Structure 1
């Protein structure tokens, strides 16, 4: 059982999708640094000129380091003479040769400029100082202003200024934007690949389900669903196999049903033919007995036997007719005929039997012809079966009526009796082959039979064209 379960899990849709999820969880963290390295390499291959624009001869550290150093030097120069301050700035200039320095005394006079430069006011006013500080914020060069002697001596000895181009503080390259751009591109490719795998996975499931739905709704020439090709042995594959197994079972069942139907038809046909010979012999012997002197009881028994032989002969005829009709081998010649004439001829043939059974006949048919496409012999067979059922099961009502009526917008032939109805028990009730033959014959002639029956009002049978 364990290997089978392991095999089913390996071939299941759940395991396949778990592989996709695990791929995303495991390989995406690995691919992120790889994508960064790939974007860095591609950027340098495509933009080789974007690597450092010019060599940087010196690096003076970060802005924090420079600012801390400059404030320490300003604090150290507190209480010094102007000459000593000038000497201190010159020493700092040697340490930062790419920087510009100057200092302003407490009177607002610009003293030493390293190097000499124009554009600085000789006498600083508060407005000049504020304007200069505002312009220097977040600009290039990087500017540091410190009060000589520290913040406590702000009004005592003036301030000193340090200016350094920002290129001496950090490298300036344009690769950052390119790296970010290509890194984002590679990340997008990875996520797009994952989405593509998920899309292909679910598209395959949807395609197979639609194929299965199509197989369930499409039927073949035999009226059964058609087999569908099976895919991988996962849940859908096993469902496809189960569907094909069901189709095969339906096909076997249909073949067995057809074989049984053929056997039944062959059995009925053979029995009908085999029974006719002994029935004919029995009928001949009973006819011979009638010529012999018999007692009253003997003649009664002989009449009963003749009646039963006639009933059995009629049943055999019904079996043969039903067999031919059910197999589609009953030949009908459909022509336009006056139905009322056929009904009158058939009723005239049955009139003596009705009179003998004490049945009053009420035939109310118009003189105008009523044309239907019928097989005259088949339609007479329909009427004979209906009249025979009436004599057998409804003679107690003592009435038969034949007339025309409107039924569902069509002219219908109506046969009425006042018997106990179809639901009543009858000692002469048979297998119902007579009515089945009636329905089969009427169907072949595109006619419909409808029956209304009750134990109080008898039975009314309507026959009319289906179209």
Structure 2
């Protein structure tokens, strides 16, 4: 009798042990499945138990209900983004058409026949029209980048030469600000994998930013570290705090409206999006090592 009782106890123990192990495996499988779903909500999947358990099935039913609501919200958000992008595209086209015509008529005016005052007024009108054209273009490009509808042609580019060319293009503007400009570019080629137009646009926006906020010194340094090429742009500044430095790449952000010089607040945000589309990074920090604040902007790009 004792042997029968002991055997029964062993069977029950084995049963509960197996059941416990199966439930643990079911939880691990469910957790892995949930992780995969949350990593990519486009999968449109639900979490299932590999081993039946009444209480866990009730819990997972609630998890799946929330997943379904999240997936529906994602689809609704994507549809609204596409609708907004189409509206921006239509508005940009509607604005650019008459603006292009207006700029064409301005260029046709015989400036030599105008008085000095009228010539100055025409220059102001043309400058404002060009600023509006830039704003429309940047707003449209930013919407395309945010919607991942901006295609790049990635290839190997000698980045040191590109940095030198862009710095030379803006050298006069930087010198007119009486800045002490320093370039530290290695003699050996530093290649990155990127899009030529995107790199040019990023560097252009960063150099414009330097011309806007640098106080007396502007320094560009390029170096290769492992799988990344790093451009560090440094300048002293009177106008940016550490908090403002962290906000430079936010949409429509202008740190000092009195020095914005027609800035739309979109250029640096576009530059960051372009860097990220090339698997790179672009960020800024403001440090206060002493009485002078320094703005440091880091552009990191893959070398292959």
TM-score normalised over the length of structure 1: 0.49
Deviation at 1:255, TM superposition (A): 1.4
Counterparts of 1:214 and 1:430 in 2: how far apart (Å)?
52
Equivalent in 38, 41, 47 of residue 228 of structure 1: 47
SS of match in other structure, 1:321: helix
SS of the equivalent of 1:330 reads coil
**Counterpart contact for 1:318–1:434, Cα < 8 Å:** yes
Provide closer, same or farther for how the CA distance between residues 213 and 366 of structure 1 changes in structure 2, counting only shifts above 3 A: closer
2:296 aligned with 1:460? yes
Secondary structure, counterpart of 2:219 in structure 1:
strand
**Cα distance change, pair 310–417 in 1 and its aligned pair in 2 (3 A):** farther
Matched-pair contact (CA < 8 Å) for 1:359–1:400? no
Q: Secondary structure at the match of 1:459?
A: strand
Q: Tell me what 2:152 maps to.
A: 331
Within a 5 Å distance, the mapping from 1:373-384 to structure 2 comes to 373=192, 374-384=194-204
SS of equivalent to 2:257: coil
Q: Which has the higher contact order (CA 8 A, sep 6+)?
A: 2
The residue number in structure 2 matching 1:426 is 257
Q: Please name the residue that 2:213 is paired with.
A: 394
Name the CA distance, whole Å, in 2 between partners of 1:222 and 1:449.
24
Structure 1 stretches lacking a partner, 5+ long:
1-180
Q: Distance in 1 between matches of 2:55 and 2:164?
A: 69
Q: Which of 256, 269, 282 matches 1:449?
A: 282
Taking the TM superposition and a 5 Å limit, the aligned residue runs for 1:60-99 are: none
1:155-192 deviation per Cα after TM superposition (whole angstroms, max 9, x unaligned): xxxxxxxxxxxxxxxxxxxxxxxxxx6xx567x39x92
What residue is the counterpart of 2:8 in the other structure?
192
Aligned to 1:247: 67
Greater Rg by CA: 1
In the comparison of the two structures, how many residue pairs are matched? 277
Partner in structure 2 of residue 215 of structure 1: 30
**Residue 408 of structure 1, CA deviation:** 8.8
DSSP-derived class of the 1:331 partner: coil
Cα distance in 1 for partners of 2:280, 2:59 equals 45
Q: CA deviation digits over 1:108-156, x for unaligned, max 9?
A: xxxxxxxxxxxxxxxxxxxxxxxxxxxxxxxxxxxxxxxxxxxxxxxxx
Name whichever of 223-232 and 441-450 sits farther off. Answer: 223-232
5+ long unaligned stretches in structure 2: 245-254
The TM-score with structure 2 as length reference comes to 0.70
Q: Distance in 1 between matches of 2:298 and 2:283?
A: 5
Q: CA deviation at 1:278?
A: 2.0
Task: Note if contact 2:230-2:300 (Cα within 8 Å) is conserved in structure 1.
Answer: yes
**Stretches (4+) displaced over 6 A:** 230-233, 406-411
Please name the residue that 2:127 is paired with: 307
Indicate the larger mover: 357-366 or 403-412: 403-412
Does the 8 Å CA contact 1:212/1:228 hold for their aligned counterparts? no
d(CA) in 1 for partners of 2:48, 2:224: 55
Of 269, 288, 300, 2:89 maps to: 269
Residue 70 of structure 2 aligns to a residue whose secondary structure is helix
